[in-house]
Structure 1
Amino acid sequence: MKYSIIIAVFNRINEVKELLKAAELFDFDDKLGARWLTHVPLPAYQNPGPWQSAFSQSGAISILLRAYQQSQKSKYRKLAKLALKPFQVPVKDGGVSSEAPWGICYEEYTSSVPTLVLNGHIFALFGLFDFQRVFPNDEECNLLVNNGLVSLKKSLAFYDLGFWTRYNYCEAEFYPDIDPATISYHRLHIMLLKVMTRLDPDPIYAEYIEKW
């Protein structure tokens, strides 16, 4: 199945018992839904914590979906649905979405300014794809996936350094003007675009894979 690579990202949780236990670790907010917060400082982006991450939301959604499929308990389905809410809310209001020069960005690291980490946006999409796999007719998720894909394709030109990639597109005064990806992150960007060719067939991914 084409989504197996997404599932493999979370394959450290092998036992159903541990899976269900992990699915309970969330913070609930009436307006923001189910959230998973990181309670450590984020000095690189001047965030003292706790902070929220679209990457974490994505992983939590996949865990909840597995918990639902293993147990058939509706609470895990409902939590997975609630975990979509932060994707619809701007970072400044407690969500994980930022406006970038090219459109929406699902933020791996939330801060007072957009951080716009490329791999974080793509990993966030994986969790949304996973939700779409289980609930293909969910309009809320389908809109998030569509908006995220349109934005991703437009963003690639901004991360392109000609022969290399930027790690992020953070334009904060306290952050370097350009932050080239390390070789490991550069390779990760290429690998993630290869995954995207399977999830969303579009020639733009192959174009940048070859260039990078």
Structure 2
Amino acid sequence: MKHLKKIIYIICFIAVFSLKGAYVHAYENSADEYYKLICECSYSEPYKAIKILSEAHELYPKDERFIQELNNRAKVILSWSKGSQLNGKFDGAIYGYNIIIKTNDISQIIKDEANVCMILSKRGEKTINGRINLPQQFDSVENYQNEYAKSGYEYQRIGCYNTFGNYLYIENVSSYSTENDILFDGMGFPMLKYSGKFYYNPITIEQYTLSSYNRYLNAQDENKVYLKNQFLNGANWIINNIDEDGALRYEFNYKHYLCDEEFKPGWVSAMAQGQALSVLSRAYHLTGDKKYINAGNNIFKFLTTNISNGGVMDNLGGLDESLKDYIFFQLYVTKPQSYTLNGHMYTLIGIYDWSNLDANKEVQEKAKFYFEQGLKTLKYILPYYDIGGFVTYDLGYLTKPGIKPTVNLSYYGCHITLLDALYEITKDKTFGDYAYLWNHYVEKY
């Protein structure tokens, strides 16, 4: 029995020593040996390759070959996962996206794209008009991020939003100077140059007026009276420039990149209508004058008139027929539709402001309804503006074949600010999460 125990101990010792030796040997692979193992993994074995690469990169973090191959194999997994998603195999797609997101040292831009696609896959979507089939934008996105860092543009977090308080701190980001493209009229309103002539732009007037309101809130003594009058002059300009149908019309030609022909004078914009409501709600709050209510109700009525009837309220049917019940407020009424993100959000804030006036209960309830419906659309559509590491200005890339995503650096921070404001208004986590995510894309710069 003694001899038997001794033999067992010897066998166990040999087994443990052998396992330890094998364990040590596995971690004594040279970088070249690891790279050979990786090269032996065909491109039909990306998951196996990723596992080996993660181990190799941990041991040899300065070896560029492993970083490059990590990204190459991650792109293969991303492509496979997108294919699974397009075929309705969402579990397989999510598995692949998760591997990419959770594996250390894969390019953040690849991870960002995987994250966007995973959000859509978890919703059970094959996606609108080929978002998943969009050519991968990795190099372009990195360029956008670098350009944004060099641009000097800044974004600001709101922290709170009050209909009768400061309007989005717009006085900090809007610039009005006497440069060649801006001229101030006798009343002190800015006019912009289009095709060699100066015209009023309703949105510019509204933002200038709201800047005056913000300064009024913080002003002292005589300057406060001056700024209040300047603000009310802007509110009165709006009243004096609306048509009988409640539209604020543009009196110059405008060429939108999605349209073959120019807009003719008389064209309209949801954002012009929405920001007018933000002005008039504050004007009524300051004065109690019903003329601002009457004008605002007229403006609101036109804002909620369908495009098919000459208005500015659209739906997502231009992306997919199944989405016709989602309303959208078009900054530009184009064909094909543009779905400009900042325009929809600015308009929603204007509708929210109007919903906080209790001068007319019927209109107030309608404003609350359209605000909620517009938020529903925004929550649904936000992932489609995200191209994995950066954000598009509109969705022209989905509505017009062959168009690349349109990026406007000056509006990147604006998107974050507006999402922040909508989060403060609604406390809806979706808006806070996207504000954080899009901030994260550029904060490293």
| TM-score, normalising length: structure 2 | 0.43
Cα RMSD of the aligned pairs, angstroms, is 2.4
Residue 80 of structure 1: how far off its partner (Å): 0.8
- Tell me the SS of whatever aligns to 1:197: helix
CA contact (8 A) 2:271 2:330 kept: yes
Q: After TM superposition, which residue ranges in structure 1, 4 or more long, deviate above 6 angstroms? A: none
In the alignment, what sits opposite 1:106? 329
Structure showing greater Rg? 2
Are 2:306 and 1:80 equivalent residues in the alignment? Answer: no
CA contact (8 A) 1:99 1:114 kept: no
CA contact (8 A) 1:23 1:76 kept: no
Are 2:312 and 1:96 equivalent residues in the alignment? Answer: yes
- CA 1:209 to 1:19, structure 2 compared with 1: closer, same or farther past 3 Å? closer
CA contact (8 A) 1:54 1:108 kept: yes
Q: Distance in 1 between matches of 2:168 and 2:389?
A: 31
Are 2:289 and 1:128 equivalent residues in the alignment? Answer: no
- CA 1:179 to 1:40, structure 2 compared with 1: closer, same or farther past 3 Å? farther
Are 2:161 and 1:2 equivalent residues in the alignment? Answer: yes
Are 2:278 and 1:62 equivalent residues in the alignment? Answer: yes
Give ranges in structure 2 of 5+ residues lacking alignment. Answer: 1-159, 171-209, 214-226, 439-445
What amino acid is the match of 2:283?
A
CA contact (8 A) 1:92 1:112 kept: no
In the alignment, what sits opposite 2:381? 155
CA contact (8 A) 1:169 1:178 kept: no
Residue 135 of structure 1: how far off its partner (Å): 2.8
Q: Distance in 2 between matches of 1:208 and 1:98?
A: 24
Q: Alpha-carbon deviations, 1:71-105, whole Å to 9, x = none?
A: 32222211111111123222232111111145211
Alignment of 1:188-203 (within 5 A): 188-203=414-429
What amino acid is the match of 1:34?
G
- Tell me the SS of whatever aligns to 1:98: strand
CA contact (8 A) 2:168 2:417 kept: no
Give ranges in structure 1 of 5+ residues lacking alignment. Answer: none
- Greater helix fraction, Structure 1 or Structure 2: 2
- Tell me the SS of whatever aligns to 1:134: coil
What amino acid is the match of 1:6?
Y
Residue 28 of structure 1: how far off its partner (Å): 2.9
Q: Distance in 2 between matches of 1:58 and 1:88?
A: 10
Residue 7 of structure 1: how far off its partner (Å): 6.5
Q: Alpha-carbon deviations, 1:79-134, whole Å to 9, x = none?
A: 11111112322223211111114521111112343221000000011111111122
Residue 142 of structure 1: how far off its partner (Å): 0.9
CA contact (8 A) 1:87 1:144 kept: no
Q: Distance in 2 between matches of 1:41 and 1:159?
A: 28
In the alignment, what sits opposite 2:118? none
In the alignment, what sits opposite 1:43? 255
Q: Distance in 2 between matches of 1:23 and 1:180?
A: 31
Alignment of 1:3-18 (within 5 A): 3=162, 4-6=165-167, 8-9=169-170, 10-12=210-212, 14-16=227-229, 17-18=232-233
Q: Distance in 2 between matches of 1:85 and 1:176?
A: 36
What amino acid is the match of 2:249?
L
Q: Alpha-carbon deviations, 1:122-169, whole Å to 9, x = none?
A: 001111111112239511111111111111111101111111111101
Q: Distance in 2 between matches of 1:188 and 1:21?
A: 27
In the alignment, what sits opposite 1:24? 239
CA contact (8 A) 2:277 2:299 kept: yes
Relative to structure 2, which stretch is displaced further, 15-24 or 55-64?
Answer: 15-24
- CA 1:202 to 1:70, structure 2 compared with 1: closer, same or farther past 3 Å? closer
What amino acid is the match of 1:58?
G
- Tell me the SS of whatever aligns to 2:413: helix
- CA 1:82 to 1:140, structure 2 compared with 1: closer, same or farther past 3 Å? same
| TM-score, normalising length: structure 1 | 0.86
Q: Distance in 2 between matches of 1:179 and 1:41?
A: 25
Indicate the structure whose relative CO is greater, using CA pairs within 8 Å and at least 6 residues apart. Answer: 1
- CA 1:176 to 1:86, structure 2 compared with 1: closer, same or farther past 3 Å? farther
In the alignment of these two chains, the number of paired residues is 208
Q: Distance in 2 between matches of 1:166 and 1:201?
A: 24
Relative to structure 2, which stretch is displaced further, 34-43 or 104-113?
Answer: 104-113
Residue 8 of structure 1: how far off its partner (Å): 4.5
Are 2:368 and 1:142 equivalent residues in the alignment? Answer: yes
